[in-house]
Amino acid sequence: MRLHLLAAAVGLTLALAGCASSGGLHPDGTPIDPSSLQAGRSLAHVPSDAAWPQADWWTGLGDPQLDALIAEALHDNPSLPSPMRALAGRRPWPASPRPRAGRA
């Protein structure tokens, strides 16, 4: 009985998919030349003296729990130069001969 229901569902799906048509579907948009957008006029009200966020931007939120979490994360995670110095001169994988085409 389950097989008959599955076969009927698959047959109905295929029949409905066969009725679908993509005729009449086409994109209506046209490409715009970027130089015609005049971004200077669109962004005139945006302040140009916006500063880059400070390194401790989260302290401005005034949340001591967030301060503690970030302090813990910064203490327990080394910066990128630290592991790079540790790996300097080391090969992280053993040297192996290069595979060559045509050899078995």
pLDDT in tens, 34-82: 888 877 777 777 776 767 788 888 898 999 999 999 888 888 776 767 7
Interatomic CA distance for residues 97 and 103, integer angstroms: 13
Structural domain for 68, as ranges? 58-88
Which residues contact residue 59 at a Cβ distance below 8 angstroms, ignoring those fewer than 6 apart?
A: 67
Is position 99 within any domain? no
**Which position has the higher pLDDT, 96 or 34?**
34
Is position 27 within any domain? no
Q: pTM (2 decimals)?
A: 0.33
CA distances from residue 75 to 12, 78, 79, 83, 86 in whole angstroms, order as listed: 62, 7, 10, 15, 18
Is position 19 within any domain? no
**pLDDT exceeds 60 at position 103:** no
**pLDDT exceeds 80 at position 31:** yes
CB 67 within 8 A of CB 58: yes
Interatomic CA distance for residues 58 and 67, integer angstroms: 7
Is position 64 within any domain? yes
Alpha carbon 27 to its chain centroid, in Å, reads 27
For residue range 15-26, what is the model confidence (pLDDT) as tens digits? Answer: 888 777 777 777
Report the domain count for the chain.
1
Average pLDDT on 5-28 reads 83
Neighbour tally for 67: CB within 10 Å: 14
